[in-house]
Structure 1
């Protein structure tokens, strides 16, 4: 394994020198010393005035001012407002409306700790949701334990948040270790054994590279890291050095940021290095976060693969669709950020737990959260490890009170100008949308051969087969390879080769097939299929996709 510095000497990340625990303590101390105490007036999403004396009060923390991630905080705030309106429109909790008090942490640990003190000592909240920054969440976990206050963190990745094993702390966000692992797991599935990492000399670039190197090494995958100075515009020498390698890398990971990533990826494509038939382009996360910027700056970036957080539209269930519609209406945005979904879901889960607990007693709420089983905007929520089922020795300790199924995806573009919702989910298999773990470079990819808008169509299932009817044509699914209803209540009844829940379900069907397969689907033909749908009999619209 090699680290090659082509521009200037390495500047090792201070946190890596200090070690994980010391680095975290230093980070929290520096944050506390760097930011004077600020008393920020909380935002109260109040119940109607005539009911204000009898409410269930829940706290939330978000970064709404700098140096926090204001864009993330604002998106999460809108999501929480939607959840409050929805819960109160449905009768509230325990027969009372909920009141949400939002405290701005500005991304600083000190303000997170102060918010928890305020919630417990003055506001009388019964639970806390939200938060975007891991460092803030770490300061809040200590206070959650001190005040015995249940917390559901929405978008905080640091392993230690749940690894501490505190009874009060739950998380529905991805775990940092697993986020790092997914790209390495992906190339392992592709059976690659030789890759290149392209990073920069920033602390973040070095940290990401170190994490990826460690994950690849653990899998026996050979890697070589090249490092450029932040702000490099001409990557000709780097690309030439990569092209001189023998054997050529099977994949190139781009860990650069912003325009640096775009410059490297486009120049690499122009040089015929990657993406190509021999070398897979694993692009920076900018690719998914800003697809318009990616295509403007990397017009030759088709077939690039990239990591993406949160569900794409192919995974949406009825709750996702309803939330997305309302969120887009309120914000004017064209899509929904995954951290907005997380914020919405964190409050939905908390309200559900209080309702099932039948009490605002913290022990009762914690016990109820542990037994959560509901469908939110991101899918079915549950917590497999808690007080009644401790984390076993062969499972990472961070799985304590951790949702195990966050969407950490690898997507691939196969047509110029696509968005993440158009791209193929190629990894992991349980969320795969096009039946392939890699669309070959230069191929046309999966193609839509028939789109049926069948408001009068039905999907009828029995214990032995599934028949999909639209108009006068019938496709009989003799074998169901994978059925993934994404957390609908009847998922437990679904077994191999059988679509459970007999009955009729309205649907809109898109049939797809891989290049080279018969060009025309025919009536009364048998196919191996993957069926995904949301049960929406009342509205008459269900999304079904069949991979032929």
Structure 2
């Protein structure tokens, strides 16, 4: 059962259902395809919980709020959901999730973050927030290790201004510099990648820096798509590797917009080499629901509801008991057993066992993915 986005305060809570508030980017400038996959996973898990009898006999219901990748909108949605007395889940964009997490912490509202990765979603350690996706430092260090094993020592990053992109650049530089690699930042705020002259200037900088790898720390579809097209058609850069650690190539829109140029762009994906038996079954159901291969984000959505349903069966709507129960979670998810712990440097309860892969689209078959590295 899903309540689609509606004006704040429109829902009525008469005790007939148990509700989970879902924060999802469903409109631009949010990454809509990621939001759709996240919501598909959330919805599938809710249906399965209800088919199995609900939460102690009561149906589970999603109350969906579209964040549109807007941190202020997300914080307002958390306020609204707190008035409804529901636990909060979801969100894909890291900066948006940070805003939601800070507000949930201030209100004393349990929030299970599905996908965002910033190491510190809250300024101080909190008991109210837990997270399924790995911290950015862990995932991007795995990506840096891949760059080293692939022989790249001169890395350029095309970066837009953002806390998330800045953190990514810092993680890469801190991990690669002691190993003899350089990381050169190209400030994309100074360029219009869709303009021919500016695209040429970006390519000139890559040539001047003798970069062997270019990482896209920019928005999708633009300017990421335009940068890829410009670099691919510049013969001086025929040997350069283009990478996208944040996962832009995961979704079908990437392949649609770039065609053959969509392949061989390594990115981070949070899946194991083999899904659990639960994951195999869920993959089939998600593929039917989405009419496409499910991304790792869809599995994150499913696992989110699986965890919260387990907590709701044990604790009901009691916020304090739910927050106290994060360290006691032991749930079989689609990608492994989910347990939360305190991880040094991370301000929230963290699933420390999240699987991490570096993958790309196969040039011989762009709809298929190759696993290049795991960590």
TM-score by length of 1: 0.56
The equivalent position to 1:131 in structure 2, one of 82, 85, 91, is: 91
> Is the aligned partner of 1:109 residue 2:71?
yes
Structure 2 unaligned runs (5+)? Answer: none
The equivalent position to 1:374 in structure 2, one of 316, 331, 334, is: 331
With 400-409 and 152-161 compared, the bigger mean Cα shift is at 400-409
Please identify the structure whose Cα radius of gyration is greater.
1
2:353 match:
405
- Distance, in Å, in 1 between the alignment partners of 2:373 and 2:295 is 20
| CA-to-aligned-CA distance 1:362-420 (integer Å, 9 cap, x gap) | 232223332222222233211122xxxxx5xxx3234x40112334422256652243x
Deviation at 1:61, TM superposition (A): 2.1
- Shift of the 54–210 alpha-carbon distance from structure 1 to 2, 3 Å rule, reads closer
Residues 116-155 of structure 1: pairs in structure 2 closer than 5 A: 116-121=78-83, 123-125=84-86, 127-155=87-115
- Shift of the 199–82 alpha-carbon distance from structure 1 to 2, 3 Å rule, reads same
Deviation at 1:112, TM superposition (A): 2.6
2:255 match:
292
Tell me: higher relative CO, structure 1 or 2? Use CA pairs within 8 A at least 6 residues apart.
Answer: 2
- Equivalent residue pairs, number: 357
Secondary structure of the 1:129 match is strand
2:7 match:
40
Deviation at 1:238, TM superposition (A): 6.8
- Distance, in Å, in 2 between the alignment partners of 1:372 and 1:309 is 24
1:396 match:
345
- Distance, in Å, in 1 between the alignment partners of 2:227 and 2:318 is 50
- Distance, in Å, in 2 between the alignment partners of 1:147 and 1:409 is 35
Residues 300-315 of structure 1: pairs in structure 2 closer than 5 A: 304=264, 306-311=266-271, 314-315=273-274
Deviation at 1:252, TM superposition (A): 1.4
> Is the aligned partner of 1:176 residue 2:136?
yes
Contact 2:120 2:345 in 1 (8 A): no
- CA-based RMSD: 3.7
The equivalent position to 1:361 in structure 2, one of 311, 318, 336, is: 318
Contact 1:150 1:365 in 2 (8 A): yes
- Distance, in Å, in 2 between the alignment partners of 1:366 and 1:227 is 41
Residues 309-458 of structure 1: pairs in structure 2 closer than 5 A: 309-311=269-271, 314-332=273-291, 334-355=292-313, 357-385=314-342, 391=343, 395-398=344-347, 400-412=348-360, 415-419=363-367, 422-429=368-375
> Is the aligned partner of 1:258 residue 2:224?
yes
Contact 1:94 1:358 in 2 (8 A): no
Secondary structure of the 2:148 match is helix
- Distance, in Å, in 1 between the alignment partners of 2:134 and 2:12 is 27
Contact 1:412 1:424 in 2 (8 A): yes
> Is the aligned partner of 1:64 residue 2:40?
no
Deviation at 1:53, TM superposition (A): 4.2
1:466 match:
none
Secondary structure of the 2:340 match is coil
Contact 1:263 1:297 in 2 (8 A): no
Contact 2:232 2:238 in 1 (8 A): no
- Distance, in Å, in 2 between the alignment partners of 1:69 and 1:244 is 33
| CA-to-aligned-CA distance 1:49-78 (integer Å, 9 cap, x gap) | xxx744323222223344444433333233
- Distance, in Å, in 1 between the alignment partners of 2:117 and 2:88 is 17
Secondary structure of the 1:397 match is coil
TM-score by length of 2: 0.78
2:239 match:
274
Structure 1 unaligned runs (5+)? Answer: 1-37, 47-51, 276-280, 386-390, 430-548
